[in-house]
Amino acid sequence: MEDDTFSKDEELLSRLNEMKDKYNLHNKKKAWLQYMTITNGDASMDFKLLEEDFNREVKFYAVAQENSKTMVDRLIKANIPVWRPNDFKAETFKLDEHMVKVQKHLEDIKNKIDIVGKRKEAKNKKKFGNEAHKRHVKSKQLKNNESKAKRQKQSKSKSVKYMRRRKKN
């Protein structure tokens, strides 16, 4: 009976330790998701690299690339979508011809957006221009109708006066 109790206690302790480990791991992940920072464990920098621009840039590039891969892996594990924006620009070791292609592509996208904007603006101008024209025509018609009614009233009064004179004579 005593051995059975001892094995249960041991099992409970192992389960408790397992739960603590999961809790600590969860809290570490939670803290990382809150700040999303990452540091490189290899912070050693050779002083010779400080004076050689190219080698220093290569070292920075390697560190940034390693950290980026780690960060993307962590984001994927946390079910957070990861993508690179289309208009992402960065200083890279790419050929000038390739960068010209990228710049041309970005300019094409901007031009398409501008063309669509101009089309929408022209459509709105046309729409409001037609409305203004309709209002102008309507106001002209109202004026014409008023002046026509005024003339008819005057002609009626003249004809009535004429008829009255005739009766008197």
Could you tell me the residue range of the domain that residue 24 belongs to?
1-35
pTM: 0.34
pLDDT per position as a tens digit, 12-39 = 888 888 887 776 666 665 666 666 777 7
The one-letter amino acid code at 89 reads K
d(CA 41, CA 45): 12
Alpha carbon 85 to its chain centroid, in Å, reads 11
Q: What is the dihedral of CA 3, 9, 11, 12, to 10 degrees?
A: 160
Is residue 89 domain-resident? no
Q: Is residue 107 located within the same domain as residue 141?
A: yes
> Do 56 and 50 contact (CB within 8 A), yes or no?
yes
Q: Is residue 110 located within the same domain as residue 56?
A: no
Q: Is residue 162 located within the same domain as residue 110?
A: yes
Residues near 123 by Cβ (< 8 Å), separated by ≥ 6?
none
For every one of its 169 residues, what pLDDT tens digit does the chain have, with 9 covering 90 and above? 455 666 777 888 888 888 877 766 666 656 666 667 777 766 566 666 666 777 777 778 888 888 888 888 888 887 888 887 776 666 656 677 877 888 899 999 999 999 999 999 888 888 777 787 888 888 888 888 888 777 777 776 766 666 666 666 5
d(CA 29, CA 80): 13
DSSP SS3 for 143: helix
> How many structural domains compose the chain?
3
Q: What is the pLDDT of residue 121?
A: 87
DSSP SS3 for 81: coil
Quick one: DSSP state of residue 37? -
Q: Is residue 110 located within the same domain as residue 134?
A: yes
Q: Is residue 63 located within the same domain as residue 2?
A: no
pLDDT per position as a tens digit, 113-133 = 999 999 998 888 887 777 878
Is residue 88 domain-resident? no
Could you tell me the two tokens for 35? 């700040």
